[in-house]
Amino acid sequence: MFSLANSVVAVILGGGAGTRLYPLTASRSKPAVPIAGKYRLVDIPISNCINSNINRMFVLTQFNSASLNKHIKNTYQFSAFSNGFVDILAAEQTPENQGWYQGTADAVRQSLRHIANNEYQYVLILSGDQLYQMDFAEMITEHKKRGADISIATIPVGDRDAPEFGIMKKDENNYITSFIEKPKKDILGEWVSDTGDAMRREGRNYLASMGIYVFSKSALDDLLKNEYPDATDFGKEIIPHSIDKYKVVSYQYDGYWTDIGNIYSFFEANLALTQDIPPFNMFDNSRTVYSRARMLPPAKISGSTLEKTVIADGSIIMASRVENCVIGIRARVGHGTTLVNCYIMGNDYYETLEQISDYSSKGIPMIGIGDRCYIKNAIIDKNCRIGNDVRINGGPHLENTDHALYTVKEGIVVVKKGAVLPNGFVI
């Protein structure tokens, strides 16, 4: 009998240096970036796997991996009676290879000797920096049924987004016939696909690769070891070259999916969680998002007006108004403060009264956000100390800049992890 748990191994790609998400990636890898107040980005693909009954996972990483290692070690521990695991495979020098991972395909190729220690028929390859909820069981079952060598998860996109993706065309049997990486707008008309009536009505006529692949074991081994032993990237090299030689199938996904590629998309994805019916549903019984279980008290709120706001465990909120915000674990917001369009990541610990008194005597603000502050269009990274009467007014009027304490990208102010903003500081 076909069993996902025994036939599939998932490989989650940790990505490169994550420069487009700087400064959030200054001291952590992309998959370790906190999202939605209490999770990490890597929790999304791992949770999708667990919910799809896939419990053997490798996470491939090479940059700033200490916090990611710690998070996975403290979070994903399967029963002794299960064969499930989530293992980190960091880039390593070997007699055969002295270099770092050179790209997505090279990372998987270098890791095959570890992955091969398991029995499997299919390899599910995922990105560590996307936000979506997907049942991989359906995709893999369809892959098996079609006898495919490679299945690519695709999502319909419109004219505006198509030039940012790898775009494919398929035939009436869903076999992919051609592929182009990031097409220019003037040739988009040649790449229209039948995406279905509902998608066409929304103007989503192009099939974009989601960077989610299912490979049959033999096809993956053959492609990486024999056919293209020097290819470094799946999207740019392996996939385009395999279309003529292998059975490559499109698996169309019509749900919510976003690639957390830069600060703007990260900010937009988090604030979307505050909507009445958010596109990413954290309140779905059948699609639990798993993360580290912290023993934190409930949030405490006093004298605040809250509008479209998500507040995580352990927060102490005494603000005047909080609107369209995501407030992370152990966050502290002082009296009379207004927060609008903000993601406050929260803190890793609470300060004691003695510590607060000691810092105060030295003129250092306590951890969190002080009194009478006004903060708009901002991301406040972990463990920041923001004094009283601080004013941060993000928006298109601000030029992109990188300061010792903060970065501005596309009008969004990102206060760096552990930054100390003194009383009266203005951005």
Q: Mind listing the pLDDT tens digit of every residue in the chain (427 residues)? A: 456 778 999 999 887 667 889 999 998 888 899 999 999 999 999 999 999 999 999 998 876 678 888 898 889 988 888 888 898 887 655 556 656 667 788 888 888 888 888 899 999 999 988 999 999 999 999 999 999 999 999 999 998 889 888 899 988 888 999 998 888 888 888 898 888 888 888 889 999 999 999 999 999 999 999 988 888 888 888 998 899 899 999 999 989 999 888 999 999 999 999 999 999 999 988 899 999 989 999 999 999 999 999 999 999 999 999 999 999 999 999 999 999 999 999 999 999 999 999 998 999 999 999 999 999 999 999 999 999 999 999 999 999 999 999 999 999 999 999 999 999 999 9
Beta-carbon count within 10 A of 47 CB: 17
pLDDT at 93: 56
Give the integer Cα–Cα distance in Å for 348 and 330: 7
Tallying the residues shown for the chain, one arrives at 427
Backbone angles phi, psi at 93, to 5 degrees: -80, 140
Residue recorded with tokens 């492609």: 223
Separation of alpha carbons 144 and 329, rounded Å: 42
3-class DSSP state for residue 228?
coil
134, 255 contact by CB (below 8 A): yes
The answer to whether residues 313 and 327 touch, using CB atoms and an 8 Å cutoff, is: no
- The β-bridge partners of 392 are 375
What integer pLDDT is reported at residue 4 of this predicted model?
Answer: 74
pTM of full prediction above 0.85: yes
pLDDT in tens, 2-55: 567 789 999 998 876 678 899 999 988 888 999 999 999 999 999 999 999 999
- Which fold does the domain 300-421 belong to in CATH? UDP N-Acetylglucosamine Acyltransferase; domain 1 (2.160.10)
Superfamily of domain 4-272: Spore Coat Polysaccharide Biosynthesis Protein SpsA; Chain A (3.90.550.10)
Measured CA to CA, the distance from residue 174 to residue 152 in angstroms comes to: 10
- CA atoms within 13 Å, Cβ hemisphere of 145: 9
Task: Assess contact for 20 and 407: CB atoms under 8 A.
Answer: no
Would you say the CATH fold of 300-421 matches that of 4-272? no
170 vs 191: CA distance, rounded Å: 10
- For the chain, the domains span 4-272, 300-421
Dihedral sign of CA atoms 260, 239, 87, 217 in order:
positive
Cα four-point dihedral sign 126, 129, 135, 139: negative
pLDDT at 364: 93
For the beta carbon of residue 153, count every other beta carbon within 10 angstroms: 22
Q: Which residues contact 377 (CB under 8 A, 6 or more apart)?
A: 340, 341, 342, 393, 394, 395, 411, 412, 413
For 70, 245, 284, the CA distances from 242, given in Å and listed in that order, are: 37, 5, 37
Both tokens assigned to 146:
């079609």
Instruction: State how far the Cα of 132 lies from the Cα of 271, in Å rounded to an integer.
Output: 15
List, in order, residues 6 or more apart from 79 with CB less than 8 Å away. Answer: none
Q: What confidence score (pLDDT) does residue 371 get?
A: 97
Q: Report pLDDT for 2.
A: 59
Sequence-distant (6+) residues with CB within 8 A of 300 are: 315, 316, 317
State the pLDDT at residue 269.
Answer: 96
Cα torsion angle, 102, 106, 110, 111, sign:
positive
pLDDT of residue 370: 96
The pLDDT value given to residue 185: 86
Would you state the structure tokens that stand for residue 377, as one six-digit string? 């269009």
Report which of 157, 260, 146 is spatially closest to residue 200, judged by C-alpha positions: 157
326 beta partners: 310, 343
Q: Report the pLDDT value the prediction gives residue 1, as an integer from 0 to 100.
A: 43
